Amino acid sequence: MISVKFHSKAEAEFIAAARYYESQQKNLGRRFISSVEAGIARIKSSPHLFPVITENVRQCLIRTFPFGIVFRGTEEQIEIIAVMHLKREPGYWQERN
């Protein structure tokens, strides 16, 4: 089975977004987390179905929230590079290796 690894900055922005949503409405943060987890499950099952945005980096759009999961992967591992708000400065995550 494919493992999933978060870049430390991607994990931090994921947690920050979940906290923000939870502060806006009870259980909204939990729903955000569930949406991201569903996106990760889709990535794990078919990573090559998502569009390439640069070189070997792909993006999965999150349902219900204006976020995308930016990732790259091999047959053994998916690395989440960013959990980014789609209205944020595009490409801010590109320096992450």
Q: For helices 8-24 and 28-45, what crossing angle results, to 10°?
A: 140
* pLDDT for the residue numbered 97: 67
Top-level class of domain 3-88: alpha beta
* pLDDT for the residue numbered 93: 85
Predicted TM-score of the model (pTM): 0.92
The DSSP line for 44-96 is HH-GGGSPEEETTEEEEEPSSSSEEEEEEE-SSEEEEEEEEETTSPTTGGGG-
Per-residue pLDDT tens over the stretch 52-97: 999 899 999 998 999 999 999 888 899 999 999 999 887 788 888 6
Round to whole Å and give the CA distance between 12 and 61: 19
